[in-house]
Amino acid sequence: MFDKYGIVYCYEPRIILYNGQQCYPDFALLNSRERKTYYWEHFGLTSDAAYSKKNLEKLAKYEKSGIIIGKNLLVSTEAEGINLDVHLIEQK
């Protein structure tokens, strides 16, 4: 999809969070007009409580590191019985 829209991206880039911890978001996307990087996380097992707790903690670390949903972080989710909406992804 990124190729389709000419979006420059990197899969699982290594970033350093506020506490020095390394993290690998699913994608880093470059807005070439603004020269701004956006990150994309896909959470595919949100119906699993342990998985969701781990990722909520990850989102809190992102926020403390200046990576904020709606500002420079895009998020998509799936859960048991709730599939990824590809049309919504294209809108994002």
pTM for the structure as a whole: 0.85
For residue 67, report the phi and psi dihedrals to the nearest 5 degrees.
-105, 105
Average pLDDT over residues 9-22: 96
Residue 92 has pLDDT above 80, yes or no: no
Q: How far apart are CA 9 and CA 28, in angstroms?
A: 5
41-76: per-residue pLDDT in tens? 998 877 778 888 998 999 999 999 999 999 999 998
Structural domain spans, the chain: 8-91
Are 29 and 37 a contacting pair, CB within 8 Å?
yes
